[in-house]
């Protein structure tokens, strides 16, 4: 069945592992991820951004995910990623999603609380779980000064107040990750001291890490080898993600690694088989590449195989 994140997070917190939340846009991506989770018997969150909803349409993604549940027999949580206002959250709740994120992280603290609380009230009445966000991810890199860091990274005291006043089920925090393929200019670093503090002040409460792709070098290399130009790409090292999973982070968001795995495979296929033009010829190995990458994450990074 489609399930909320509630039970998944409870088990993940207690078991000190994390659940992968993978961004989906089309059938091949969904099938690759779900096949991996099925083979690993792993808990799974599929998430849909506003852009994905616009690209594929709500109903197509909804039906594809329903098909995935039926075909795999897995409990899957279908989650809205980065909902920016009440309306999109409502549309997803009314349209069958089991979880939504309201991302008020750009708003002043009090406005973020008010908006998040409004979504929580609507969602909880309908049995849907809610993720909020406090602190800012974008543009946060290792070179930031401490003062900038204080302004953008999640403040532990505010996190406690935010969770208490909104009633959210999970909270995305900023500790140095960012979206996309270019996360760090120099050595990757995350503010684990801050994570530890937040985690200790919110015992039993599930935290979420966005911008958590590793930007696997093999895929970057393959893209570049076959005509791409993705220079200087760098993600979050796998050890750091494993560590975060043991410190109260129950949900790890992955989109960029899916994009890279798929694009690397397609670039390679088309370069090696210039006569091919049936999309199935390159989408089949692309789907397989996603599946293998997700299996690796489930086993070695999320540690949620067989859970
Ligand atoms: O957080 C952003 C996700 O990677 C989704 O990206 O808005 O381009 O679909 P998107
Ligand atoms: P990545 O860009 O690191 O994959 O992060 C995805 C994400 O946070 C989606 O919300
Ligand atoms: Zn995100």
**Does 176 carry a binding-site annotation?**
no
- pLDDT, residue 285, reads 98
Query: Is the CB of residue 243 less than 8 Å from the CB of residue 275?
Result: no
Closest CA to 155 of 212, 109, 204: 109
3-state SS, 201-218, equals HCCCCCEEECCCCCCCHH
pLDDT in tens, 116-138: 999 999 999 999 999 999 999 86
Residue 158 confidence (pLDDT) above 90: yes
- pLDDT, residue 137, reads 84
Residues having CB closer than 6 A to ligand 2 are 23, 81-82, 179-180, 210-213, 253-257
Compute how many other C-beta atoms are within 10 angstroms of the C-beta atom of residue 114. 14
In a domain, 66, yes or no: yes
Which of 81, 155, 191, 257 does the annotation list as catalytic? 81
Instruction: Give me the phi and psi of 208, to 5 degrees please.
Output: -125, 140
In a domain, 1, yes or no: no
In a domain, 237, yes or no: yes
In a domain, 203, yes or no: yes
Tell me the C-alpha distance between 138 and 148, whole Å.
Answer: 12
**Does 180 carry a binding-site annotation?**
yes
Higher pLDDT, residue 185 or 274:
274
Ligand 2 atom having least distance to the Cα of 236:
3
Residue 150 confidence (pLDDT) above 80: no
Please tell me what DSSP assigns to residue 21.
E
Q: For tokens 């690397």, what's the residue?
A: 264
Å from CA of 276 to ligand 2 middle:
32
pTM over 0.90: yes
- pLDDT, residue 139, reads 59
pLDDT in tens, 61-107: 999 999 999 999 999 999 999 999 999 999 999 999 999 999 999 99
Residue 207 confidence (pLDDT) above 70: yes
Instruction: Give me the phi and psi of 267, to 5 degrees please.
Output: -60, -45
Owning domain of residue 177: 6-301
Query: Is the CB of residue 136 less than 8 Å from the CB of residue 106?
Result: yes
Residue 8 confidence (pLDDT) above 90: yes
> Is this prediction's ipTM beyond 0.95?
yes
Q: Distances from the Cα of 271 to the Cαs of 206, 221, 276, in angstroms?
A: 44, 14, 10
In a domain, 220, yes or no: yes
Query: Is the CB of residue 307 less than 8 Å from the CB of residue 43?
Result: yes
Q: Which CATH number does the domain housing residue 150 bear?
A: 3.20.20.70
Q: With H, G, I as helix, E, B as strand and everything else as coil, classify residue 134.
A: strand
- Known active-site residue 85: no
Question: Which residue's alpha carbon is nearest to atom 3 within ligand 2?
Answer: 211
Residue 140 confidence (pLDDT) above 60: no
Ligand 2 atom having least distance to the Cα of 177:
3
In a domain, 13, yes or no: yes
In a domain, 23, yes or no: yes
In a domain, 306, yes or no: no
Q: Distances from the Cα of 286 to the Cαs of 86, 136, 150, 220, 260, in angstroms?
A: 35, 33, 41, 15, 10
Task: With cut-offs at 50, 70 and 90, classify the pLDDT of residue 148.
Answer: low
The count of structural domains within the chain is 1
- 235 φψ region: left (φ > 0), alpha (ψ -120 to 50), beta (else): beta
- pLDDT, residue 145, reads 65
């Amino acid at each position: 069945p489609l399930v909320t994140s509630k039970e998944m997070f409870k088990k993940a917190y207690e078991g000190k592992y994390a659940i992968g939340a993978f961004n989906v846009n089309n059938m091949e991506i969904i099938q690759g991820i779900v096949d991996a989770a099925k083979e690993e018997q792993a808990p799974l969150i599929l998430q849909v951004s506003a852009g994905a909803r616009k690209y594929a349409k709500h109903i197509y993604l909804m039906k594809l995910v329903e098909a995935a549940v039926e075909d795999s027999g897995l409990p899957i949580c279908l989650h809205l990623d980065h909902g920016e206002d009440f309306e999109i959250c409502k549309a997803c709740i009314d349209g069958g999603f089991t979880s939504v994120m309201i991302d008020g992280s750009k708003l002043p603290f009090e406005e973020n609380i008010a908006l998040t609380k409004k979504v929580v009230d609507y969602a909880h009445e309908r049995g849907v779980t809610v993720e909020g966000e406090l602190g800012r991810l974008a543009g946060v890199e290792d070179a930031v000064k401490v003062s900038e860091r204080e302004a953008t990274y999640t403040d532990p005291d505010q996190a406690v107040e935010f969770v208490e006043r909104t009633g959210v089920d999970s909270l995305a925090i900023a500790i140095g990750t960012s979206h996309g393929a270019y996360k760090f200019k120099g050595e990757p670093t995350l503010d684990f001291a801050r994570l530890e503090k937040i985690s200790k002040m919110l015992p039993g409460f599930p935290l979420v890490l966005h911008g958590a792709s590793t930007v696997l070098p093999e895929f970057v290399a393959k893209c570049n080898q076959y005509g791409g130009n993705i220079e200087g790409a760098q993600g979050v090292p796998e050890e750091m993600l494993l560590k975060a999973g043991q410190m109260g982070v129950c949900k790890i968001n992955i989109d960029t690694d899916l994009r890279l795995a798929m694009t690397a495979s397609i670039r390679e296929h088309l370069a090696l088989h210039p006569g091919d033009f049936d999309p199935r010829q390159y989408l089949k190995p692309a789907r397989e590449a996603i599946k293998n990458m997700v299996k690796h994450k489930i086993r070695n990074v999320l540690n949620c195989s067989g859970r």
